[in-house]
Structures are given as structure tokens and as C-alpha cells.
Amino acid sequence: MNSDDKLNIVGIDGSYHKKESDFILYEMVRKISGSFTESSTKIYSMCDIQFCRGCKKCFKNERCDLDDDINSISESLNQADILVFYTSVYADFINGYSKNMLDRLSYLTHIMPFVGKYCILIVSTYISGEDDSMCYLYRYFSLLGFNVLGAISTTSFDSIAVINKRISMIVRRLEREIYGEYHSRSLIQIKMNTKLKDIYGNKIADTLVKKELWNGKK
């Protein structure tokens, strides 16, 4: 986790189909944020992303030389604990807007800078192409270092109830992964508990945290 004790959630909307992405992506981010006491969210949508020019300056400078939104996205990913990436499918594969975004970040696959961070993938299609798209995204984000914790594919025939059920399953998996036995406690309490155990032992530490005697002190 980050030093500010907040779970930082970044959402990327890789689609111009706002009706679909606004529900699925935003609902996923909302439910994740609601499951953790301390969290912050940032969602990128309709970004200004130019095409890669093949200059290879990103390998030398560790950032893209083009002046658009891609470096802001990269910096947010560095601060993120969880990424939720959404894309729609065109012609049986992820759309060109999403692919261009990933192409611009692809230099990072050589150094895997996001090891230890979680990623959730969402692919939306009318009827086909979700399998190839998901396989590509899984491989791509794994090469960036992300732990791809869950993936959802939806078609135009899926009901809202079905989609919500899939979202809830992913969120529960994320809760178990991050909190474990401390599921109901805030991130600050977890850090407090760890520090107090080092000083006082398990039983006294648990009592102090429950009574909130430390008032958020680290």
C-alpha cells in the first residue's frame, strides 16, 4: 500500500461507448472503493492520446516525449494499488483507442514497474471477440507486472443483475486478497495493529485498536 494509508484505485475507460462503460467501470470502482475504509479514486476517460511515433525516447527517458495524457496515466499507475481497465470490442478485438493507449505504454513491459499492484479487466462486446481480447489483455498487464486478480467479459445479452453479480464476486475476491483476516478493518488500523503487536504482543494490540486509543496515530 501507499505511505498515505489509502487504497488508491485507478480506472481507465478505454471506450467511446459511454452508456456501457459508465455503468460497468464506474460500478466496479464504486464497489471497490465502498469496501475499503480508506480509499481514493481516479478515472481516466476520453483521454488525449496521440499515436506512437517510434522515436524510442521512452526507453532512454523512461517517459514518452509526446505532450498528451499518457504520462499522467503512467504516473497515476505508479501511485495506484488497483487498476480497473475497461475496453469495448470492435471487429473481434479491443478497439483502436484502447490499443493505442496500450501501445504508448508498452515500453514499460520491459521493466515490469507495477509488480505488487492488482489489476481487474473488463471487456464488453456485442456477441464475439471477448476471448481473444481478454487473452491479450491478461498477457499485456501481466508483462507490466500487475497481478491480474479478476476479469469480466460482458455481451449485449447480459442483464444488469448478471453483471452486478460478476462485479460483486470480483470485489469479494479483492477483499480477501488484500485484507485477509483483517477484512473489516481500515488500512490505518492494520498498520497500527502490526506496529502495536511488535511492542505489546497480539492480545494487547487487538484491545488497543478496538478501543481506538491511538486515534489514528502511526
Q: pLDDT tens digits for the chain (218 residues)?
A: 554 568 899 999 998 777 666 789 999 999 999 988 788 999 999 899 999 999 999 988 888 999 899 999 999 999 999 999 999 999 999 999 999 999 999 999 999 999 989 999 999 998 899 999 999 999 999 999 999 999 999 888 888 899 999 999 999 999 888 876 444 444 444 444 444 444 444 444 444 444 343 333 33
- Give the range of the structural domain holding residue 216, as residue numbers without chain letter: 185-218
CA–CA gap between residue 140 and residue 130 (Å, rounded)? 15
Nearest C-alpha neighbor of 23 from the set 86, 96, 94: 86
DSSP conformational letter for 52: P
Residue 3: its pLDDT value, please?
45
Within this chain, do residues 174 and 196 fall inside the same structural domain, yes or no? no
Note whether residue 206 is domain-resident: yes
Within this chain, do residues 121 and 156 fall inside the same structural domain, yes or no? yes
Within this chain, do residues 170 and 195 fall inside the same structural domain, yes or no? no
Label residue 63 exposed, middle or buried (CB < 10 Å: 0-12, 13-18, 19+).
middle
Note whether residue 139 is domain-resident: yes
> Residue 155 belongs to a domain with what CATH number?
3.40.50.360
Within this chain, do residues 115 and 201 fall inside the same structural domain, yes or no? no
Contact 9, 81 (CB under 8 A): yes
What domain count does the chain have? 2
Within this chain, do residues 209 and 121 fall inside the same structural domain, yes or no? no
CA distance from start to end of the chain? 14
Element (H, E) at 173: helix 160-179
Residue 5: its pLDDT value, please?
65
CA–CA gap between residue 145 and residue 116 (Å, rounded)? 7
Note whether residue 56 is domain-resident: yes
Within this chain, do residues 142 and 201 fall inside the same structural domain, yes or no? no
- Answering whether pTM is above 0.85, one says no
Q: Could you identify the residue written with the cell 488484500?
A: 178
